[in-house]
Amino acid sequence: MIETGLAGRIVLVTGGSGGIGRAISRAFAAEGARVAVHHYVPEQEPPPGKRWEHAIPPAEEAVDLVRELGDAITVAADLSAPDVADRLFDEVEGRLGPVDVLVNNAAHCESPDTLDALTACGLERHYRVNVTAPALLTSALAHRARPDRSPCVVNISTDAARAFPGQIGYGTSKAALEAFTRAAALDLGRSGIRVNAVAPGPVQTGWMDAALIDRARLAIPLGRVGEPEDIADAVVFLASHQARWITGQVLQVAGGHAL
């Protein structure tokens, strides 16, 4: 890309302090955007017999890495809270200005998440963070964004959203996020707001050991697992001026995995 048109734009990245989110935050900062790096503040512990499968990296350490490339702040919030969208947008607007680009990257994932271990509370936790929060944040953007700034949303799904055995709550919530992406794109298109999604394949953010990487490679036509920067580059493209006529799409960034 020669010119992304992202310089000076305000970008909110949820779950932006670690893994894929941190790479996305850095990629936007490198393009001259001003980045609000959201990080999770846990307000509850996993219930007995459950384990959260998401890390909580140090927020200040993450934002320092983003600031190596550009302007960034940290914002903290539990995305399962019902009033989180307005509170988060109020803080970002007060410190940086109106949000131009929303990246719904944060996700809840817990185990066991198999059908025989399913509970109403577990499903609710997945859906509140993976579907409800992105929907409410997108609505907040639609109400507050300046149309002349070409606002857009990029949601982060998974390439296994169509069928994710063994991760029922997580997989089905990501499938719902993809459905929301298409519906929101249709609803908001007349307002000049684009809504797209990126569906990553297996990405090494520290959770895969050498044996798992070897197994994953066999299922990936391009012969390697992903790096966070692979996803970040796709997100930046969808938010850029060069993707100005793209909306309602789910871009699979997975090396051919799960086609």
DSSP string covering 152-221: EEEEE--TTTT--TTBHHHHHHHHHHHHHHHHHHHHHGGGT-EEEEEEE-SB-SS---HHHHHHHHHT-T
Instruction: Please identify which of the residues 170, 196, 202, 258 carries the catalytic annotation.
Output: 170
Number of neighbouring beta carbons within 10 Å of residue 257: 21
User: Is the residue at 135 inside a domain?
Assistant: yes
Q: Encode the chain (259 residues) as per-residue pLDDT tens digits.
A: 678 999 999 999 999 999 999 999 999 999 999 999 999 876 667 778 887 677 667 778 878 889 999 999 999 999 999 999 999 999 999 999 999 999 999 999 999 999 999 999 999 999 999 999 999 999 999 999 988 999 999 999 999 898 889 999 999 999 999 999 999 999 999 999 999 999 999 999 988 999 999 999 999 999 999 999 999 999 999 999 999 999 999 999 999 999 8
User: Is the residue at 3 inside a domain?
Assistant: no
User: Is the residue at 34 inside a domain?
Assistant: yes
User: Is the residue at 225 inside a domain?
Assistant: yes
Beta-carbon contacts of 236 under 8 Å, excluding residues fewer than 6 positions away, are: 1, 4, 6, 24, 27, 28, 31
Question: pTM to 2 decimals?
Answer: 0.95
User: Is the residue at 5 inside a domain?
Assistant: no
Whichever domain contains 81, its CATH number is 3.40.50.720
Residue 135's Cβ-count burial label (10 Å; 0-12, 13-18, 19+) is middle
User: Is the residue at 236 inside a domain?
Assistant: yes
- Give residue 186's pLDDT: 98
How many structural domains comprise the chain? 1
User: Is the residue at 224 inside a domain?
Assistant: yes
- Give residue 1's pLDDT: 64
Range of the domain at 136: 10-253
Query: Is 170 annotated in the active site?
Result: yes
Q: What percent of the chain has pLDDT over 70?
A: 97
User: Is the residue at 1 inside a domain?
Assistant: no
